[in-house]
Amino acid sequence: MEILVCVKRVPDPAENEISIGPDGGDIERDDLVYSVNEWDNYAVEEAVRIAERTGGNVTIVSVDDDEGEEVVRRQMAMGASQGLLLTDEAFEGSDGLGTATILAAAAKNGTYDLILTGAQADDGAAQVGGMLAALLDWPYASVVNLVETNSDGPLRIGREIDGGSQEINEIETPCVLSIQTGINEPRYVGVRGIRKVASIELPVMDAEALGISAETVGTAGAKVRRVDYFVPEQRAAAEMIEGSTEEIADRIVDLLRAQGGIR
Amino acid sequence: MDARVFVYVAHSAGTIDDTALELATAAQRLFPGSSPTAIVAGSGVDAVAREAARSFDEVWKLDTEALAYPNAELLRPLLVKLLTPGSMTLLPHNTFGLDLGPGLAVRLGATYVPDVVDADGLEGTTLKVVRQEFAGQVSAHVHCNVANGAVITIRPGAFPAAQSGSASGQVVDRSTDADGIAARRRFVELIEAETGDVDITREEVLVSVGRGIGDEENLALVEELSEAMGAAVCCSRPIIDAKWLENSRQVGTSGKTVKPKVYLALGISGSFQHLGGVKGNPFLLAVNKNPKAPIFQSADVGVVADLMDLLPVLTEKIRQGH
Ligand SMILES: Cc1cc2nc3c(=O)[nH]c(=O)nc-3n(C[C@H](O)[C@H](O)[C@H](O)COP(=O)(O)OP(=O)(O)OC[C@H]3O[C@@H](n4cnc5c(N)ncnc54)[C@H](O)[C@@H]3O)c2cc1C
């Protein structure tokens, strides 16, 4: 199968405390450590495993500026033979539909049987996969935690639904699946692996190459616009315990006792 | 605003879901004065449609065998056919809404407004909402151009459920519109979540561990604390994804719903998917090294500390007290 995996570079949630920049227009980005969106990492691993079973190639694609190259290459090192960076000033400020429009153009430019995205990224919108499927007029399944391929015919997939039950479906290809964490155990990528893909040429495509008119994407095309970031007020009831580790521990013990938390 | 407002009524085992009445509230907050039409789809849903008619003036019933399981791929083309152009459609931001919503918006030519946690006013065709980003670490004011309609998903629990009314709305049977619907994705079966050796849904004192524990071997610190307390261990999703604990220990919307008296959240950031599984308003004590962690907005007591430093000391003190 020919598989396209869409990945996004995001501030690494394990490495960063997010704070808001001076004018509220953006978060403080100066010292952020970036990595691939957690959900996308599982999507790449799944794609590589499918291609190992069925043959075919995995292509990693990202809508980003030049900074995106490192993440695309890291994901390629998991076992993808190709990468693609979609970069244009006109793409900046895209909303979900803008991003999906850019990715759809790239998808149409190749011949893929399957497109994987992460179930969601750092904005929690969980929208790009479903939009991409609709733009391509392909069937879609979200929050996928199982993919089984048959030599011929539809895929058998599992969706993780509320309460943790698994909804088994058959889905025809070509299709778009958004991948849930835990579907597999993503492989470790070492410096060696990254070095191996360093010589692979990474094509960069802009709006013109993709045949996208600039006013349909980016800030110009966005119907959903973030005005500012803010921190909601803390709930008044939250009492913060301070002091030395010893003092804190003593206070916790007292509180737990009072609440019946120690038996 | 005179655009029509639709609300998707999810239901199971013959009763309407909590999310449906939350959407009713959200519809009033987003579009004050609107009179939303409820959509009830399924097979054999007369009773559900009648129940919905107590809270909505009008209910569209889509009753057909093909919809016995709510397959978003079947529903989407049907809704595209039925929904008035330019209308506002509200869905729950859960695994059903995620499946249906984004593609529905594209197909309707409507704006997609996902995971809304609060309303901030409607000015002309600009809908103002509040969302969260970075797993709830920051909130955002978001302005949406809804001139061509919108599909809006509402975070479960963000709006209070409307009182189930006693109004007698009108049920309109639109089932024949569903004749001949087909999709390229077919529902096969449902595999129920497993229950493990310890049933965390019955425990009164829970020690819940999140990604902040860092390494599998550090879990021993959590288990020792839990043992000293006489509590049970549960966790957030990354711990399950890493296969450090059994699936049945996961708390959250895609895990178990727990109702303890005391909930100790250790190295858990406080995503809505996690907290969605913590019910019954327990005494919630959170330990996190990040003072801005969203969990502190839901906690009764917060501690900014490194688990590696605090846990051994805490366990020792509890042991000494026995
Ligand atoms: C469809 C869907 C369903 C989901 N269902 C669930 C669900 O059922 N349950 C669930 O939990 N999640 C669920 N999630 C995932 C959820 O969105 C979050 O990703 C997850 O809850 C985060 O887990 P966490 O808080 O443990 O990790 P993180 O968000 O990474 O938080 C770790 C926290 O630990 C703190 N920390 C780090 N090191 C230390 C230290 N040494 N000492 C103290 N604190 C430290 C950090 O400051 C941080 O706040 C779901 C997601 C999706 C898309």
Q: Which residues contact A173 (CB under 8 A, 6 or more apart)?
A: A1, A113, A114, A154, A155
Give a yes or no: residue A231 inside a domain: no
Residues in chain A, how many? Answer: 263
Give a yes or no: residue A180 inside a domain: yes
Q: Nearest 10 degrees: CA dihedral of A240, A243, A244, A247?
A: -80
Give a yes or no: residue B281 inside a domain: yes
* Beta pairing partners, A161: none
CA distance A58 to A44: 8
Tokens of B40: 């009830």
Q: Tell me: the pLDDT tens digits for A86-95? A: 999 999 999 9
Residue B1 binned pLDDT confidence (cut-offs 50, 70, 90):
low
Specify the 3-state DSSP secondary structure of A74: helix
Q: What is the pLDDT of residue A235?
A: 58
Give a yes or no: residue A228 inside a domain: no
Give a yes or no: residue B190 inside a domain: no
| Residue whose CA lies nearest to ligand 1 atom number 11 | B236
φ, ψ dihedrals at B145, nearest 5°: -85, 110
CA of B101 to the centre of ligand 1 (A): 25
Give a yes or no: residue B160 inside a domain: yes
The Cα of B167 is separated from the nearest Cα of chain A by a number of Å equal to: 30
Residue among B107, B113, B123, B133 with most chain A CBs within 10 A, to mutate: B133
Claim to verify: residue B144 and residue B87 sit in the same structural domain = yes
Residue B44 binned pLDDT confidence (cut-offs 50, 70, 90):
very high
Summary count for chain A: helices (H), strands (E)? 8, 13
Domain of B96, in residue numbers: 5-178
> Is B256 near chain A, with CB under 8 Å?
yes
User: H or E segment at B183?
Assistant: none
Give a yes or no: residue A177 inside a domain: yes
φ, ψ dihedrals at A21, nearest 5°: -70, 170
Claim to verify: residue B265 and residue B296 sit in the same structural domain = yes
Q: Please give the span between the terminal C-alpha atoms of chain A, in angstroms, as a whole number.
A: 57
Q: Tell me: the pLDDT tens digits for B14-33? A: 999 999 999 999 999 999 99
Claim to verify: residue B163 and residue B218 sit in the same structural domain = no
Give a yes or no: residue A243 inside a domain: no
Residue A27 with chain B: CB contacts under 8 Å: 134, 138
Summary count for chain B: helices (H), strands (E)? 8, 18
Give a yes or no: residue A38 inside a domain: yes
Give a yes or no: residue B195 inside a domain: no
Domain of A194, in residue numbers: 2-221
CATH number at residue B153: 3.40.50.620
Specify the 3-state DSSP secondary structure of B127: strand
User: Is the ipTM, as predicted for this complex, more than 0.85?
Assistant: yes
Q: Count of domains in chain A?
A: 1
CA distance B252 to A233: 24
Claim to verify: residue B171 and residue B215 sit in the same structural domain = no
Give a yes or no: residue A237 inside a domain: no
CA distance B261 to B241: 27
Claim to verify: residue B53 and residue B123 sit in the same structural domain = yes
CA distances from B112 to A98, A197, B24, B150, B215 (A): 11, 37, 19, 6, 39
CATH number at residue B258: 3.40.50.1220
CATH number at residue A46: 3.40.50.620
CA distance A169 to A245: 51
Q: What is the pLDDT of residue A238?
A: 78
Claim to verify: residue B9 and residue B54 sit in the same structural domain = yes
* Beta pairing partners, B173: B61
Mutate to test the pocket of ligand 1, among B99, B209, B211, B256 (most ligand atoms within 8 A of CB): B211
Q: Tell me: the pLDDT tens digits for A200-241? A: 999 999 999 999 999 999 999 999 999 999 987 765 567 999
Claim to verify: residue B59 and residue B174 sit in the same structural domain = yes
Claim to verify: residue B164 and residue B223 sit in the same structural domain = no
CA distance B34 to B89: 12
The pTM assigned to this predicted structure is: 0.96
Give a yes or no: residue A254 inside a domain: no
CA distances from A101 to B48, B110, B283 (A): 38, 14, 46
CA distance A249 to A56: 56
CA nearest to B149 within chain A: A223
Claim to verify: residue B154 and residue B214 sit in the same structural domain = no
Residue B322 has pLDDT above 60, yes or no: no
The Cα of A14 is separated from the nearest Cα of chain B by a number of Å equal to: 8
Give a yes or no: residue B186 inside a domain: no
Claim to verify: residue B152 and residue B207 sit in the same structural domain = no
Specify the 3-state DSSP secondary structure of A229: strand
Claim to verify: residue B59 and residue B101 sit in the same structural domain = yes
Claim to verify: residue B208 and residue B126 sit in the same structural domain = no
> Does ligand 1 have an atom closer than 6 angstroms to the CB of B144?
no
Q: Count of domains in chain B?
A: 2
